[in-house]
Amino acid sequence: MTTADGSVIGKTQIFGSAPASHAFNVVLLAEGFTTAQQAHFNTACMSFVQAFLTTPPYDGLSAAINIFRVNVRSTDSGADDPTSTGGTGATPRTYFDATFGANGIQRLLVCDDMTALTVATAQVPQFSAVLVVVNSTEYGGSGGSVGVYSLADGATEIALHEMGHTAYGLADEYPYYAGGVEPAQNHFSGPEPGEPNITANSVRASLKWRWAVPATTAIPTMNNPDCSTEDYRPSPVPGGTVGLFEGAGYFHCGAYRPEYDCKMRNLGVPFCRVCRQVIWNDIGPLSTPGGFTSLAPYRLLDTRSGQGALRGAVAPRGTVSLQVAGCGGVPASGVAAVALNVTVAEPTASGYVTVYGGGMTRPTASNLNYVAGQVVPNLVVAPVGAGGKVALFNSSPGSAQLIADVSGYFLSGNPTAAGAFTSLAPARLLDTRSGLGAPWSRSPRAAPCRCR
Amino acid sequence: MTGRGKVPASGVSAVVLNVTVDKPTASGYVTVYGGGMTRPTASNLNYVAGQVVPNLVVAPVGAGGKVDLYNGSGGTVQLIADVSGYFHSGAPAVAGAFGPLGPSRLLDTRNGTGAPHAAVAAHGTVSLQVTGRGNVPASGVSAVVLNVTVAEPTAPGYVTVYGYGTSRPTASNLNYVKNQVVPNLVVAPVGAGGKVALFNGSPGTVQLIADVSGYFRAG
């Protein structure tokens, strides 16, 4: 029932080649495997690797993922299974002392977290997430400071779900606790949950995943008509639509989830858009410095409506400071540049717009040109400056409305990989009006081309 | 272009340039392509006499680290180019890496390239196959860089480009008035079946043209 009931054999890296200091490092620990059963543990680990690396968004992040298994010998096989919650009463001698039936719930499988963390730290000091693999075919799992899962049918799905808790602080999105009739779970009350994938807030404008909600999707998208039970009706919107669905975080009503379904609600289904983004935000910055992540276009700025800035036209020679990091699916940190489609509308005089990194010196460069009354868009790859901001300068003696839609971002770091992007403060390379970079078009002999 | 404005002298596959035309004396277009390469059937900017028009360009870097800018006009034009970044050369292998291309024309509704030979209907959507065409890989692509141009619009409107099969977002990529020719660069997420959707937000019809100049790798 303690570490006296076994011993640590050693670690083996079973996937990945990223430097441990710059990767998401998963550690799998063997629990309830005897010496003779270590090969069984090794096989289970490979099943996990296969499932993990084919599950979005992990499938796009494998360059930044390492997976280690730590073989640990237990004296006996399996896990404790108390009769009080309907178990067999087994009490095998195992290294991490795993047991079913925690909190009176049979499926809640826990272990000695401190021992698991101690072993993980000793074997893989830079671990990102620890999963304890329990040698039992009975269904169970949990996700606290370490994730725990058994080898029941769909074991790897349990593992992926529990790692959602352990590594990313994702909440359970299912609307019950123990199941059955449980009046205490009818109505959520209390402050806004801290987890990124459940909410008690049903106001579109302040919804924490509002960036992922199409304007055409109703908020709430589904209300539970009977709070004494969970809502079993089918979704009114196509699968994958992000909205606001009542029933989440163990409550039938008053708590909401982002999509109809998600791996944090049911096993065997994909992670929802919001959970995928949370995971990507965590691992993405580790993946490829200079790598690009595509986003569904999202309107970050619209001075006509007050989105992203004060409502009202930008003043003559005025600058808008636009927060981009942490908005519209752009991670809160680790972003070098964003792809923005910037549109000017209702300009009252001719002018141009210069887009540059927040807090940086405004360069001699321009992105849009317009005359009075014109609507003109242009794509901009804008460096992200201090505080995750982008500055938009209106050069005109008149005012102008500005709109900006984000469609992707480039990760910061030191870009070295083939195809990686290095963001630069805008700089003028060519201006045939002044002869910069090319001959004066009207006096070709005036300046030779200095392009190398 | 390489060796200038903090762009390294070597190891660069493509640069991100904001190209502006000024003082054109006649209508025309500009094509930007790799120095020393064959000029493709593609365009980056369109203008009429006297107009100042910019557009972002992701330009492959050709021989000697150069980019060629071609003035497809009967008149003269002033050209300005501002650099805002570059891509490292080599075969893109990791997630998020960029592969520069051509450019090459994937869509032209005026002649039936990539879609039916007809103007796009009012509030109509074109679904454009992008993977497996124009040297875009058949799979493992998260987004493509398209220069999208509207021509012959019969009424004012806008175009929204988004991943096929996903919800059309509250966002726009091009804005135009009647009879204008307007291009804009778009980084478009690739949706179901390797397709991109282009929505015509106008009560009139419009011709759509799209030239691909690169792609980003998925994981």
Domain ranges of chain B: 12-88, 98-217
Domain ranges of chain A: 3-168, 178-265, 295-411
Q: Do B174 and A377 touch (CB under 8 A)?
A: yes
pLDDT tens per residue, range A240-272? 999 999 999 999 999 999 999 999 999 999 999
pLDDT tens per residue, range B10-61? 888 899 998 999 999 999 999 999 888 888 888 888 899 999 888 999 888 9
Contacts B65 to A, Cβ<8 Å:
452
Q: Which residue among B55, B175, B190 places its CB closest to the CB of A375? A: B175
pLDDT tens per residue, range B106-151? 999 999 999 999 999 999 999 999 999 998 999 888 899 999 999 9
Q: In terms of CA atoms, which chain A residue is nearest residue B183?
A: A378
Q: Do A428 and B80 touch (CB under 8 A)?
A: yes
The per-residue DSSP string of chain B comes to: -TTSTT--SSSEEEEEEEEEEES-SS-EEEEEEETTSPPPS--SEEE-TT--EEEEEEEE--GGG-EEEEEEESS--EEEEEEEEEEE-S---STT-EEEEEEEEEEETTTTBSS-SSPBPTT-EEEEE-TTSTT--SSSEEEEEEEEEEES-SS-EEEEEEETTSPPPS--SEEE-TT--EEEEEEEE--GGGEEEEEEESSS-BEEEEEEEEEEE--
Count of CB pairs separated by less than 8 Å, A with B: 256
Is the minimum CB–CB distance between A215 and chain B shorter than 8 Å?
Answer: yes
Contacts A18 to B, Cβ<8 Å:
none
Is the minimum CB–CB distance between A424 and chain B shorter than 8 Å?
Answer: yes
Per DSSP bridges, beta strands B207-217 and B174-176 are: unpaired
pLDDT tens per residue, range B172-199? 899 999 998 888 999 998 988 999 999 9
CB atoms within 10 A of CB A66: 23
CATH superfamily of A3-168: Collagenase (Catalytic Domain) (3.40.390.10)
**pTM beyond cutoff 0.90:** no
Q: What is the largest CA-CA distance in chain B?
A: 49
CA distance A367 to chain B (A): 6
CA distance A243 to chain B (A): 12
Contacts A296 to B, Cβ<8 Å:
162-163, 166-167, 169, 189
Contacts B189 to A, Cβ<8 Å:
294-296, 407-408
CA–CA distances in Å: residue B7 to residues A159, A199, B13, B15: 45, 46, 11, 8
CATH top-level class of A295-411 = mainly beta
Counting residues of chain A whose pLDDT is more than 90, the rounded percentage is 64
Q: Which residue among B96, B161, B172 places its CB closest to the CB of A287? A: B96
Residues 281-320 of A with CB under 8 A from B: 287-288, 290-299
Q: Which residue among B13, B65, B95 places its CB closest to the CB of A63? A: B95
Q: In terms of CA atoms, which chain B residue is nearest residue A285?
A: B96
Kindly give, in sequence order, each residue whose CB lies less than 8 Å from that of residue A383, ignoring residues fewer than 6 positions away.
Answer: A336, A337, A356, A357, A360, A390, A423, A424, A425, B84, B85
Q: In terms of CA atoms, which chain A residue is nearest residue B164?
A: A296
Is residue A280 within 8 A of residue A293, CB to CB? The reply is yes
Considering chain A, what is the average pLDDT of its residues? 89
Q: Do A418 and B142 touch (CB under 8 A)?
A: no
Q: Which residue among A60, A295, A416 places its CB closest to the CB of B218? A: A60
Q: Which residue among B54, B162, B190 places its CB closest to the CB of A378? A: B54
Is the minimum CB–CB distance between A62 and chain B shorter than 8 Å?
Answer: yes
Radius of gyration over every alpha carbon of chain B, rounded to an integer in angstroms: 17
Residues 376-415 of A with CB under 8 A from B: 376-383, 403, 405, 407-408, 410-411, 415
Q: In angstroms, rounded to a whole number, what is the distance separating the alpha carbons of residues B111 and B207?
A: 10
Confidence band (pLDDT; 50, 70, 90) for A57? Answer: confident
Q: In terms of CA atoms, which chain B residue is nearest residue A239?
A: B166
Average pLDDT over residues B80-109: 86
* Substitution target from A292, A342, A354 for chain B, most B beta carbons within 10 A: A292
Q: Report DSSP state, residue A286.
A: H
Q: Do A365 and B18 touch (CB under 8 A)?
A: yes
Q: In angstroms, rounded to a whole number, what is the distance separating the alpha carbons of residues A312 and A50?
A: 52
Interface confidence, given as ipTM, is: 0.84
Closest alpha carbon to A359 in A335, A389, A334: A389
Q: In angstroms, rounded to a whole number, what is the distance separating the alpha carbons of residues A376 and A378?
A: 7
Question: What are the beta bridge partners of residue B69?
Answer: B32
Q: Which residue among B2, B87, B218 places its CB closest to the CB of A419? A: B87
Q: Range with the lowest mean pLDDT among A149-158, A387-396, A406-415, B139-148? A: A406-415
Q: Do A424 and B69 touch (CB under 8 A)?
A: no
Q: For B184, how many CA atoms within 13 A lie in the half-sphere containing its CB?
A: 30
- A444 pLDDT above the threshold of 50: no
Q: Do B189 and A60 touch (CB under 8 A)?
A: no
- A200 pLDDT above the threshold of 60: yes
Closest alpha carbon to A322 in A243, A231, A404, A253: A404
| Model pLDDT, residue A255 | 97
Cβ density class A43-53: b for 16+ within 10 Å, e for less:
ebbeebbebbb
Is the minimum CB–CB distance between A439 and chain B shorter than 8 Å?
Answer: no
Q: Do A418 and B79 touch (CB under 8 A)?
A: no
Most confident stretch, A262-276, A370-384, A410-424: A262-276
Q: Which CATH number fits domain B98-217: 2.60.120, 3.40.50, 3.30.70, 3.40.1350?
A: 2.60.120
What's the sign of the alpha-carbon dihedral A241, A242, A243, A244?
Answer: positive
CA distance A174 to chain B (A): 25
